[in-house]
Amino acid sequence: MKLGTENKKKTIFAGVLVLLAAVLLVRNFSGGHEENAPAPSNAGTAARAGAKLGHKPARSLMAKSLDPSLQFDLLKSSEDLTYKGTGRNIFRSEAPPPDIPKAVKPDVQPAKANTPPPPPPIDLKFYGFAGPRNGSKSIFLLKGEDIFLAKEGDIVDRRYKIVHVGASSVEIQDVLTNNTQTIPLSTG
C-alpha cells in the first residue's frame, strides 16, 4: 500500500503547511490578545492614554467598561437632539379619517330629451314599370348599380318590403327599422 510519500519535496511542503495551520489555530484560540486584557478602572483615562499612544479611542472600550458613573458629555449630546415627526401618531393603529370631498355643482345645461335618431332614408329609386298596364303592376327599383323587379308584397334586397304600388308612388317599408317611405314614380 502506497501513502503518496514517494515525492519528498511535496511531502515536506505539505508537512510545513499543516504545521503552519496548527500554529495559526492555536494562536487564534489562545487568550493572549490585548483585546481580552482587563479594562482600566476609569474609561476616560484609558481613552486619553490611547490617544497619547496614537491609537483611536474605541467607543467599544467605553461600552465594555464597568464604570457606573454618569458620562455627562454623552448625556449633553443627546439632549440637543429634537424629534421632527411626520404628524402621524405611532401609538394608534387606526388610519387617519379620509378627506371629505367638496360638493360638486350640478351642470346648468338642461338635459336633452332622449329621442331616437331618425331612421336612415331608403335608398331605392324608381326605374320603370314591367308587365301589362291593366294587370298586376311590377316595377323596377334601382339601388346603386343593382336593379330589382318587384310587385306588392315582395321583399327587395332582403330588407325592403313593397307595401303598395300606386299610380304615382310606391310605398316601401324598411323591415329592420319599421320605417315606411313613399317614393314617387317618375322617370327622371
Q: What is the pLDDT of residues 44-103, one digit of tens each?
A: 554 444 444 555 555 555 555 677 788 888 888 888 788 777 777 778 787 767 888 888
115 assigned to some structural domain: no
Whether residue 155 contacts residue 161, with contact meaning beta carbons closer than 8 Å, is answered with yes
pLDDT score at 100: 86
- Check whether 7 has a pLDDT greater than 50: yes
The total domain count for the chain is 2
pLDDT score at 86: 74
3-state DSSP assignment of residue 162 = strand
30 assigned to some structural domain: no
pTM (two decimals): 0.39
Q: 169 has which bridge partners?
A: 184
15 assigned to some structural domain: no
* Residue 136, domain CATH: 2.30.30
**Domain endpoint, select from 18, 33, 67:** 67
pLDDT score at 18: 95
Q: What is the pLDDT of residues 133-169, one digit of tens each?
A: 666 778 889 898 899 999 899 999 999 999 988 888 8
154 assigned to some structural domain: yes
Sign of torsion over alpha carbons 20, 23, 27, 29: positive
- State which residues form the domain around 171: 125-184
Model confidence at 23, in pLDDT bands (50, 70, 90)? Answer: very high
157 assigned to some structural domain: yes
22 assigned to some structural domain: no
The residue with greater pLDDT, 63 or 186, is 186
- Check whether 22 has a pLDDT greater than 90: yes
137 assigned to some structural domain: yes
Concatenated DSSP letters for 85-138? --S--TT--SPPPPPPPPPPPPP-SPPPP-PPPPPPPP--EEEEEES-SSS--E
Instruction: Give CB contacts under 8 A, 24+ apart, made by 40-43.
Output: 41/67, 42/67, 43/67
Distance CA 188, CA 185 (A): 9
16 assigned to some structural domain: no
